[in-house]
Amino acid sequence: MTYQMTSDQQGIRNAVLRICEEFDDEFWLNRDREGGFPHELHQKLARDGWLGIAIPEAYGGAGLGIVDAAIMMQAIAESGGGNSAASAIHMNIFGLNPVVKFGTEDQKKTYLPPLVAGEQRACFGVTEPTTGLDTTKLKTRAVRQGDRYVVHGQKVWISTAQVADKILLLARTTPLEEVKKPTEGLSLFYTDLDRTFVTVREIEKMGRKCVDSNELFIDGLPIPAEDLIGEEGQGFRQILHGLNPERVLVAAEAVGIGRNALRRAADYANERVVFGRPIGQNQGVQHPLAACWAELEAANLMAMNAGALYDAGKPCGNEANAGKYLAGEAAVKATQTAQLTFGGFGYAKEYHVERLVREAILFRIAPVTPQLVLSFIAEHALGLPKSY
C-alpha cells in the first residue's frame, strides 16, 4: 500500500500555495509583532471557495474529504504562515462537522453557507479552566426556560473569539449527579456570540499573536431552543465527530510547519560558508536535518492514513491520535534543529525560524497533550488498563 496525492489533490495544494504566496515572510513577521487577525488571507481563501472544502455541496461547500482538507491546511502552514495562517482558517474546516452530522436541514441551510462564504466566523467553546480535557466534568450550565436556554459559565483557550460571530458551545443541561453516565447530559449549541452576555478576554501568549486565544465569561447568555444541535444531552457524542478530523488537520499543519523550517535550514546550510566550505557539507549539520525529514514524512503518512480511514467511514481514533502525536513531536524537533542550523542568527526574528519554533510548540500541546494521546493509545490500541 502506498500513499500518493492524486492529480486533483496536487491541484488543491498548488492552488492554495499560490494564494499563500501573496502573504510573504514580512507579512507574517509584522503580524507576529503587531497582531491583528489576517482577514486578508481568510477572505481570499473564502473567495475561491476553500473555506468550504469539507462542507457538503448542498450548503455551498466542495464536499471533499478530510484528506483533501488536510492537504489544504498543510499547504497553508508550509507556505511560511505557519500556525498563524493555519489557525485563522482551522475552525472553519472541522469545527462545524457536528452541525453537518446532527443538525436539521434548516440549521444546515442557515448556518453553513455564511461560514463557507467567509461572511461569518465561528469559535469552538468546549475547554474550561477548572476541567481542562476532563470534558464530562465541565461546569458551564444551560438551563431550559420556555423557548430558550440560559447559559452561565466560563471557557478558556477559545481561539478567534475576538473576531467570531458564532460559537459552537458545549454546556451541561442535566446535572452530572442526575445522569447514568458522565458523558450524558451535555448539549451542543451553535449560536450567536452575543457580547452583551459574554465577556471575551484575550490571553497574551508565546506565539501566534495574530490569532487570538481567549477566556470567555458567560453571564446569562440566552440561546434560542432552535440553536440546539441534535438531541439534548448527547453533545459529548456529537463533538467526538469533530475530534478525529481535528487531530488529522493539526498533524498535517505540524508537518507543514516542520517542512518549512527544514527548507529554510537547508537553504541556509547550502549558502553559509565557514572554514572554507558550506556548513551543509558537514555531517553534523546534515544528519540532524535528515532525521527530522524522515520523522516528519513518517508522521505525515500516519496522519493521511487516519484521514483516509475517516473518509471511508472506518474507525480512526488510534491512527488520528498517533498522527497528531508523531507530527507534534516531529515539528518541535524540526523547528528547533532548523534554529540550531542558523546558529546565532536562528535567534533573530529577521530569519523567521524562531517564530516557527514558538508556533510549533502549540502543535505539541494542543488540542490534546502528548501524555493523554499516549494514554489513549495504550488503552485502545494495546488493551492496557485505563490510567485516568
Q: pLDDT tens across 156-207, in order?
A: 999 999 999 999 999 999 999 999 999 999 999 999 999 999 999 999 999 9
pLDDT greater than 90 at residue 217: yes
pLDDT band at 241; cut points 50, 70, 90: confident
pLDDT at 358: 98
Residue with cell 478576554: 201
Mean pLDDT of 115-138: 94
The structural domains of the chain, with segments of one domain joined by +, span 7-117, 122-233, 237-382
Q: Tell me the H-state helices in 272-386.
A: 283-311, 317-341, 353-365, 370-380
Distances from the Cα of 383 to the Cα of 58, 369, 378, 386, angstroms:
41, 20, 6, 9
Integer Cα distance of 388 and 383 in angstroms:
14
**Could you tell me where the DSSP H helices lie in 55-148?**
66-76, 82-94, 97-102, 105-116
Provide mean pLDDT across the span 205-231: 98
Helix, strand, or coil here: 274? strand
pTM to 2 decimal places: 0.96
Q: What's the CA gap between 17 and 35, in Å, rounded?
A: 23
Please, what is the average pLDDT of the chain?
Answer: 96
Is the CB of residue 331 less than 8 Å from the CB of residue 257?
yes
Mean pLDDT of 111-117: 96
Mode of pairing for the β-strands spanning 228-229 and 186-192: antiparallel
What's the pLDDT tens digit per position in 336-361?
Answer: 999 999 999 999 999 999 999 999 99
Q: What pLDDT sits at residue 338?
A: 98
CB-based contacts of 348: which residues, under 8 Å, 6+ apart?
354
How high is the pLDDT of residue 108?
Answer: 97
Q: Which CATH architecture has domain 7-117?
A: Orthogonal Bundle (1.10)
Cell numbers 461560514: residue: 115
CATH 2.30.110.10 matches 122-233: no
Topology (CATH) of 237-382: Butyryl-CoA Dehydrogenase, subunit A; domain 3 (1.20.140)
pLDDT above 70 for 1:
no
Would you state the cell numbers that stand for residue 159, as one nine-digit string?
Answer: 481561539
Its sign, for the CA torsion 93, 96, 101, 103, is: negative
State in Å, rounded, how far the first CA of the chain is from the last one.
36
> Residue 44: its pLDDT value, please?
97
242 vs 235, which has greater pLDDT?
A: 235
